[in-house]
Chains A and B, each alone.
Chain A
Amino acid sequence: MAVAQQPVSLGDDEYEEQGAWQRLAYIGRLLRRDRGGMIGSVLFVLIVLTAMFAPVIAPHDPLKQNLRAAKQPPAWTEEGTWEYPLGTDNLGRDMFSRIIYGTRVSLTVGFFGVLIACMLGLISGLVAGYRGGTIDNVLMSIINLFLAIPYLVIVVVIASILGRSLFIVILIFGITDSPLFARVTRGEVLRIRQSGYVESARSAGASNFRIQFDHILPNLIGPLITLATFEMSAMIFYEAGLGFLGLSVPPSVPSWGNMLAQGRKYLDIYPWIAIYPGIAIAITALSFNLLGDWLRDVLDPRLRRSR
């Protein structure tokens, strides 16, 4: 990270009409120039594969209790065995398998939560920024209102009212996070609306709909994808936090937050139950943040991280 960054964008002549493979090769070339982006994307692919092939990778059934094997320490300690690489929890369930399955909950919440937030925010931000006037004022007031209530407080309170289920958790995150996306979209729309190419499109007689879809929308993709990456990482944090309070998915589901909540009870005697799910969260957050930093550099050369 300490080395000075090379410029990441290639000349325009290299990015002309290309096939899909050439584009992939181009992205590969960009990645090789940025160590952080490389680490982030490799980790990201590994995490997604872990979630997809969890039943194949996991050595045990994550729900199967085995009280005779309960509270076994990790394999590299004296009493540990390689049958349970990261040890077992208080009910004798394999920690390693549970962490692998936990990837699924975290990624599902992160992905769908961000998808809902991004869609809602994109639509309202686009309308507010492009139309202006009363609609803009009303939408901005609603957004400011949501940002005035501490995020964690409102999420915890709503989750406690609506109850524990994956669907509700995703919906809460999707709706409460959408103001952030709306604000970024609106800011970008206001900037793009003033640009020369929108003006020339309008003077050429393009309809409002066409200007929004052909000229403004493509320019929003960069900033929104970057924001989505960081927000996915934030949502994975918040989901684990809710699980820690016992407000996320039902306790029977292996999720990192639920595991941490259990580990906390046995912190002083069986610390590994709390340690490893946290490391899983940190690695996931690291991957998303490195990827987000890299995407910001590549998609928006104006905002380069290290000038």
Chain B
Amino acid sequence: MQRYLISRVIQSIFLLGGVLVVVFFMIRLTGDPASLMVSRNASEEMREAFREKMGFNRPLYVQFSDYLYGVLQGDFGNSLHFKQPAREIILERLPATFQLATIALLGAVIIAVPIGIIGGSNPGSFVDSLGRALGLLGQTIPNFWLALILILVFAVNLRWFPTFGRDSYLSVVLPAIALGLGSMGQLVRLTRSAVLEIRNDDYIRTAKSKGISQLKIGLRHIARNTSLVLISVIGVIYSYLLGGSIYIEIIFSWPGLGSLLEQAIKSRDFPLVMGITITFSFFVIFINLLTDIAYAFIDPRIRYGG
């Protein structure tokens, strides 16, 4: 167990290092990062001065070790557009993104898991059909389009919710629905198929033949084993929701990292773009690590295994 945990932590650190390399070389894909960041009609002297200022004329390995050294100290460099450290801007926007993703996740879990369990236990019932319909809806409706429709119906026409911003507690409702619907569909499908699979396992049959009540079987065997499946999935979904909120944040002008990324791209503010990408990746890796640790604690095969 301990060895497993330590190796997972080391693996995560290596992954993070790999992400830094990818992000660093990504903005050098076109060969000249200066022309990417300076406006097109800038003179050659201005470009040269910019290269000098950003240190782009130094050898690549010096630039990279500098950047790495900075990031290790939490320094992503200065934002070109906001003229202040990228880290400060990112930290300021981070809570909004987490709030949106967390509420979307909680909503999706609270609705999807009961439907999946009830539907999976009673295939062909009304709840089962509802769950299948939700699963299909989640897969076929693009979240950016759903966001527009929600604004049109509930904000513009009915005026129940604000159309944009993060001013009142009502503001989060529409973005969270738009963001969470796809994941909710996915969760319904997964829960349902996990329950269907577990239902036919031998130990359930044994429990039934011993005369243990339906409720007890449901709680002790089915719910427990389903939760094992769900934990690994919920981690993946949460990291997807964090990174996938870009469209939703832009449409609702939600002051999070996603809308910041769009602004940074539009103003060609690549130090900020790099910082945001690394921040996102950091949380994805961190959440995956937490998921694996939680899984190791719950699953006895790993707990007693390695």
Contact = CB atoms under 8 A, between A and B. Distances in A.
Contacts of A244: 144, 247
Nearest to B156: A268
Contact of B19 (A149, A157, A158, A281): A149
Contact of B30 (A161, A240, A241): A161
B188 to A, nearest CB: 13
Interface string A1-14: 11110000000000
Interface in B142-201: 142, 144-145, 148-149, 151-152, 156, 193, 196-197, 200
Contact of B265 (A152, A157, A263): A157
Contacts of A3: 124
Contacts of A154: 26, 277
Nearest to A275: B149
Interface stretch (B47-55, B105-113, B204-212, B236-244): B236-244
A274 interface: yes
B123 A149 contact: no
Contacts, number: 136
Interface in B1-56: 14-16, 18-19, 22-23, 26-27, 29-30, 36
Nearest to A278: B145
A289 B250 contact: no
Interface residues of A, number: 47
Chief secondary structure at chain A's binding surface:
helix
B262 interface: yes
A162 B30 contact: yes
A307 B196 contact: yes
B124 A263 contact: no
Given A240-B142, A286-B136, A278 B129 contact: no
B222 interface: no
A163 to B, nearest CB: 9
Contacts of A156: 246, 261-262, 265
Contacts of A283: 140
A149 B142 contact: no
B64 interface: no
B296 interface: no
B145 A281 contact: yes
A165 to B, nearest CB: 14
5 contacts: A3-B124, A149-B277, A150-B284, A268-B152, A278-B148
